[in-house]
Amino acid sequence: MNLFFYGAADPMKQFEVQKWFELPPLFGYDISFTNAAGFMLLGVVLCIAFFGYAASRGKIVPNRLQSMGEIGYGFVADMIRGTAGEEGLRFFPFVFTLFFFILFANVIGMSPYAFTTTSHLIVTGLLALLVISIVIVFGLWKNGLKFFGLFAPSLGDMHILGKLVIYAILIPIEIISFIARPLTLALRLFANMLAGHILLKLFAGFAVTGITAGGIGLLVAPLAFGMGVALNALEFLVAGLQAYVFAILTCVYLNDALHPSH
């Protein structure tokens, strides 16, 4: 009895990657279909189904799903216009996909027994690497070597010696903060989802063990349960907010690739 509840209350168990079915290795890599792959696929399928349905019957007076789709479209478009300008709209498909992929992954992770794909650093890290590669490749393609002006902001009129001294300090700082960008982008989403889901599981576990332990546990259990309910609401906020933060930072970085001199 005790063992069962301790097993259920282990807060890290929800992050375990399990194989759903085995696949033959490809080039020596294990490519078995795991729960992480499964829930990512579920998110993509739900996304396609939602927008496929929302866009299928373009009525002048939209029904609920269609207006939800339209609000989503307008939200992302406004976000890009606000940070990267009209030119940034050429990246609309990328930012839109990124935002809704993360949002769906986060919200699916909130349902019981689901696996949160964004709580794994490998997933968020790959997304951040994708963003930063696009920034570098597009920046170099569009601006050529002027893209490296990103690391040396213009100083205006100044003595050449003074410029040299300031650049000697400023350029390493700018390079470090540029390299730190994909790291923070990945780390933030990962840490938020991981911490939130551990907390949820911990408070839910307190409630269960409090009831089974009896005595003073019966006093603790309702408090822990109430806390769990409150945290659940907070986690829904975090799920949406982190998808938004990831998307808006992508826009800010794309803005650097579009207009490198600041």
Partner 1 sequence: MALRYGAEFGASVFVGIMMGLGIDHFFATEPWGLLIMMCFGIAAGILGVIRAYKELTDAANPAMSPDKTGSNPEE
Q: How far, in whole angstroms, is CA 180 from its chain's centroid?
A: 16
Q: H or E element: which one contains 246? A: helix 217-258
Q: How far is the CB of 242 from partner 1 (least distance, A)?
A: 10
Name the segment binding partner 1 (CB under 8 A); options: 46-54, 59-67, 86-94, 218-226: 86-94
176 binds partner 1 (CB under 8 A): yes
What secondary structure does DSSP assign to 77-118, as a single string?
Answer: HHHHHHHH-GGGGGGHHHHHHHHHHHHHHHHHHHSTT---GG
Name the segment binding partner 1 (CB under 8 A); options: 62-70, 149-157, 176-184, 212-220: 176-184
Q: How far is the CB of 142 from partner 1 (least distance, A)?
A: 14
85 binds partner 1 (CB under 8 A): yes
| Residue whose CB is less far from partner 1, 31 or 126 | 126
Q: Which tokens hold the place of 187?
A: 């780390």
Among all chains, which residue has been given the structure tokens 């911490």? 195
Q: Which of 162, 177, 212, 234 binds partner 1 (CB under 8 A)?
A: 177
Task: Indicate the burial class of 102 (C-beta count within 10 angstroms; 0-12, 13-18, 19 or more).
Answer: buried
Residues lying near partner 1 in the complex (CB under 8 A) are found at: 79, 81-88, 169, 172-174, 176-177, 179-180, 183-184, 187-188, 191-192, 195, 245, 248-249, 252, 255, 259
